[in-house]
């Protein structure tokens, strides 16, 4: 009985393990797609609803205030105090640091620049850090992926990058790149510490709220009192719930299931999806340059998000090997 049952159990177990692994990766990619939609919607909502009535500090306050009010009671109930230092660390990186830098960058540079330097910067910094930790051994498909995505992002934002001459624009670009670096470190720490995604986002939102709101209320400039109620409600819902909680949770989940490099590469799709969404919603035109950029970004992001073996096989076929 034992000798006959062992062989039959082996293949079945392997098949089940392979199916489970595929299912885990598929859920990771689906989570990354949700992040792309949430972040693309953020760009559209910002362009659609912004009338210049909010300071960057107002936007950060709505993001951290709403998400923190929801997250703090749950975080205090579910996470023991001995584990708080790690959640504080990721809050300073992916919450406070990232949010304040991005919102401050919008005061100097247009949204299109954020698409290039944030959504393109996150995979760049992530892959650079991963490569550095691995002894600077970078796989060929990642080099090609980053090159395609970067070229595509530049094409999508060509007019803004090369035809605008707003004073101090470079300050916003530096802020966006720095924000991307902090988000990349946040993603790598999430994976290294194996933090559960929902607890990580609760901790991030809770600490960001507790640290930021007192500083905002006491010392930072604010114009939220003069803003229309609709704009306040729109920003609170999108910034505090969709961008901070839902997108953050989905990115953390994708990070654990498909890896930091693959999850970050999916973010390169955000500017392209934003441009496509802006056509029916904002009435913006789809130019040949933007269409070409979307195609390049999509190819680059998908190549970088694939498992290494699959990506190498695709490249081999394209090169006739």
Q: Please provide the DSSP assignment of 48-86 as one string.
A: HH--S-S-HHHHHHHHHHHHHHHHHHHHHHHS-GGGHHH
Here the tokens at position 141 are 């498909």
Q: Which of 142, 152, 96 is nearest to 119 (CA)?
A: 152
pLDDT number for residue 149 = 86
Whole-number Å distance between alpha carbons of 134 and 111: 34
| pTM (2 d.p.) | 0.84
By CB atoms closer than 10 A (0-12, 13-18, 19+), residue 232 is middle
Q: What is the 3-state secondary structure (H, E, C) of 170-211?
A: HHHHHHHHHHHHHHHHHHHHHHHHCCCHHHHHHHHHHHHHHH
- The residue ranges of the chain whose pLDDT is under 70 are 1-22, 43, 46-52, 136, 159-160, 163-166, 282, 284, 319-321
Q: What is the reported pLDDT for 189?
A: 93
For position 40, what pLDDT does the model report?
86
- Per-residue confidence (pLDDT) for residue 150, from 0 to 100: 87
List the one residue out of 88, 85, 94, 37 whose CA is nearest residue 63: 94
- Let me know how long the chain is: 321
- Distance of alpha carbon 31 from alpha carbon 64, whole angstroms: 22
pLDDT of 4: 41
Distance CA 18, CA 74 (A): 35
What per-residue confidence (pLDDT) applies to 83?
94
Q: Enter the tokens of residue 162.
A: 């090369």
Do the beta carbons of residue 88 and residue 204 sit within 8 Å? no
Task: List the structure tokens of 41.
Answer: 């919607």
- 284 in helix, strand or coil? coil
Question: Domains of the chain: which residue ranges?
Answer: 54-318
pLDDT of residue 76: 96
pLDDT given at position 14: 58
């Amino acid at each position: 009985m034992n000798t006959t049952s062992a062989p039959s159990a082996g293949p079945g177990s392997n098949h089940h393990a392979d199916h489970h692994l595929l299912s885990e990766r598929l859920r990771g990619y689906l989570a990354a797609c949700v992040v792309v939609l949430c972040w693309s919607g953020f760009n559209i909502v910002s362009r659609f609803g912004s009338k210049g009535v909010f300071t960057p500090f107002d936007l950060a306050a709505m993001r951290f205030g709403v998400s923190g009010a929801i997250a703090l009671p749950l975080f205090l109930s579910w996470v023991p105090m001995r584990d708080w230092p790690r959640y504080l660390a990721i809050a300073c990186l992916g919450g406070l640091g990232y949010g304040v830098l991005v919102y401050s960058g919008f005061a100097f540079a247009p949204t299109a620049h954020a698409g290039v330097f944030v959504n393109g910067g996150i995979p760049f910094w992530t892959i650079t850090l991963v490569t550095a930790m691995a002894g600077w051994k970078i796989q060929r498909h990642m080099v090609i992926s980053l090159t395609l995505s970067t070229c595509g992002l530049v094409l999508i934002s060509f007019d803004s990058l090369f035809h605008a001459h707003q004073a101090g624009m470079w300050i916003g670009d530096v802020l966006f790149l720095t924000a991307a670096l902090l988000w990349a470190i946040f993603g790598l720490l999430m994976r290294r510490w194996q933090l559960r995604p929902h607890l990580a986002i609760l901790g991030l939102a809770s600490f960001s709220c507790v640290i930021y709101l007192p500083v905002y209320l006491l010392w930072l400039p604010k114009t939220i009192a003069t803003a229309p109620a609709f704009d306040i409600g729109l920003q609170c819902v999108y910034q505090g719930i969709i961008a901070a909680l839902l997108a953050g949770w989905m990115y953390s989940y994708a990070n654990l299931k498909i890896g930091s490099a693959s999850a970050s590469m999916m973010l390169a799709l955000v500017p392209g999806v934003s441009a496509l969404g802006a056509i029916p919603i904002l009435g913006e035109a789809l130019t040949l340059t933007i269409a070409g950029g979307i195609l390049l970004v999509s190819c680059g992001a998908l190549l970088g998000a694939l498992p290494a073996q699959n990506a190498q096989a695709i490249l081999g076929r394209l090169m006739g090997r």
